[in-house]
Amino acid sequence: MLQIYDTTLRDGTQRKGISLSASDKVRIAKRLDELGVTFIEGGWPGSNPKDIEFFNQASKINWKHATITAFGSTCRVNGQPENDANIQALLEANTLVCTIVGKSWDLHVKDVLKTTPEENLRIIEESTAYLVSKGKRVMFDAEHFFDGYKADATFALDTLKAAARGKAEMVVLCDTNGGCMPWEITEIVNAVKQAVDVPLGIHVHNDAEMAVANSVMAVQAGCVQVQGTINGYGERCGNANLCSILPNLEIKLGYSCLPDGKMKELYEAAHFVTEVANLPHDNHLPYVGAAAFAHKGGIHVAAMRRNPDSYQHIRPELVGNEMQVVVSELSGRGNLISKAEEIGLDVKNMSDTADILTHIKDLESKGFSFEAAEASVGMMLKRSEAGYEPPYELVDFLVNVEHRQGRGILAEATVKIKVGGEVQHTAAEGNGPVDALDKAMRKALINHYPQITKFHLSDYKVRILDGDKGTQATTRVLIDTKNGSKQWSTVGASANIIEASWQALSDSFEYGLMVAQ
């Protein structure tokens, strides 16, 4: 079984925009442990108090699958490991495994460390040996190894041999600048295997968009440990993305990476880390993006309805994802039929889907976009069912926004809605015109449909489509609504932002009442 070494909590946090608390790191570590990775690198205890606190908390947890590792560097030039604060911090982290980084490129030895090759080899060997003498399992990260090998292969290999003499159990070859090509990785790993009698790991960055490919090629060349981060988080362009590496190795190439059945948790784990990191998830990530198995083209969907393998390289459920059908101006009838089935509608009870499709394409030409507003598509399909009666009918609405002495800006909406055979005439004030409309609608509907108290407007997005028209431009409004764990999105478009908002709001309420209860 391959060793999967996750460094999200250390290397991943070097991404711009990520800052994890100690408790955040514990939560992520627990989720990675459940996923079944082999090692979780918790951080650099010699660098900041937050990482020290993480290791304090981690030492009290009974980990099921993973071994927690602490990261640090070799001792300082001309120093001794027993007197080095960084080395001592590694010991105080109280982990079974320590990973230390050292220089393997002569450029760094001369220009960064300002020392000799011999001194660099000494601090690698002695730092490793010292930690081993204290009962630690030690892995050596050979920083800039591939660049170093290309510059001076003999010296780069000597750094690995120094770590081996210090009894490192693993030497990890690092493409720290992330610029290597896959064929270089293969050639160099094969050469290292012939020269060094110690297990090899791989740690690459993604500056040339090759990190996943390079990691896979390194494993095929003989590396038994692969390092990376969830979602590819990391400094600059990121680290190797474990969420792509794992299924590539296990599903495509037959390597054993995670415990049996755990690959199905990959999608959820990737999104969990995104949420804790407080970042938007990249929907277009392979395997774990929401759009990874989303199909929009009409020809594609028509083929998929006959054979799901026709436009998918794997079954999405293998990684815990699911297939989606997107409805847009590029759709065919198969898209609509699939969408109707998805939301539980009886296609046989609907009017001709060709007419609905024509209507969708016409609306999209006027500024609507249904890709992110599937509930609006759902309502079109629902309204086409024979005998469908809408829960309410708009008679009219009026929205005022004005400045009042002593109160500032005031928004007020008045609506007339026919519900239950009666016209409800209600008014409400709000923080803005959309908020006022929302509140007035609720007043009109709540006596007949008390469940709307559970509908919460969770997001409101506005986009100007043709800005060259100035204040006459068409405005697209997207509204997200939640009811407990359920969420749906609706769209409206008009040169009048209030009308566009009303369209999206009305679809949202109707969808919630008819479908999402």
Side chain identity at residue 177, one-letter code: N
pLDDT of residue 242: 98
447, two tokens: 């006596």
Residue 485 has pLDDT above 80, yes or no: no
The class level of CATH for 392-448 reads alpha beta
Angle of helix 85-92 versus helix 117-133 axis, rounded to 10: 30
pLDDT (0 to 100) of residue 361: 61
- CATH class held by domain 3-276: alpha beta
Give the strands of the sheet with 486-494, arranged side by side. Answer: 456-464, 475-483, 486-494
* Residue 329 pLDDT level (bands cut at 50, 70, 90): very low
Alpha helix ranges (H) inside 8-152? 22-35, 49-58, 85-92, 106-111, 117-133, 145-151
Q: Does the structure show a pLDDT above 60 at 327?
A: no
Query: Which residues partner with 143 through β-bridges?
Result: 103
In the β-sheet with 422-430, what is the strand arrangement from edge to edge?
Answer: 393-404, 408-419, 422-430
Question: Which positions ≥6 away from 144 have C-beta within 8 Å?
Answer: 103, 104, 105, 107, 108, 174, 176, 177
Higher pLDDT, 396 or 159: 159
pLDDT at residue 311, as a whole number: 72
The CA-atom distances, in angstroms, between 475 and each of 115, 344, 390, 472 are 63, 31, 26, 9
Determine which of 204-208, 381-385, 482-486 has the lowest per-residue pLDDT on average. 381-385
Q: Which part of the chain has CATH 3.30.160?
A: 392-448
Nearest-CA neighbor of 291 among 360, 220, 372, 212?
A: 372
pLDDT tens column, 407-459: 778 889 999 999 888 899 999 988 888 889 889 999 988 888 888 888 888 88
Q: Which of 161, 220, 165 is nearest to 196 (CA)?
A: 161
Q: What is the mean pLDDT of residues 249-274?
A: 95
- Is residue 330 predicted with pLDDT exceeding 90? no
> How far is the C-alpha of 137 from the C-alpha of 6, rounded, in Å?
17
Separation between Cα atoms, residue 183 and residue 220, nearest integer Å: 12
> Is there a contact between 30 and 2 (Cβ–Cβ < 8 Å)?
no
Q: Which residues fall within 8 angstroms of residue 43, CB to CB, at 6 or more apart?
A: 9, 10, 13, 25, 50, 51, 54, 55, 70, 71
pLDDT in tens, 87-134: 999 999 999 999 999 999 999 999 999 999 999 999 999 999 999 999
- Joined together, the tokens standing for residue 212 give 């996943």
pTM to 2 decimal places: 0.74
Q: Please, where in the chain does CATH 3.20.20.70 lie? A: 3-276
- pLDDT tens track for 36-59: 999 999 999 977 888 999 999 999
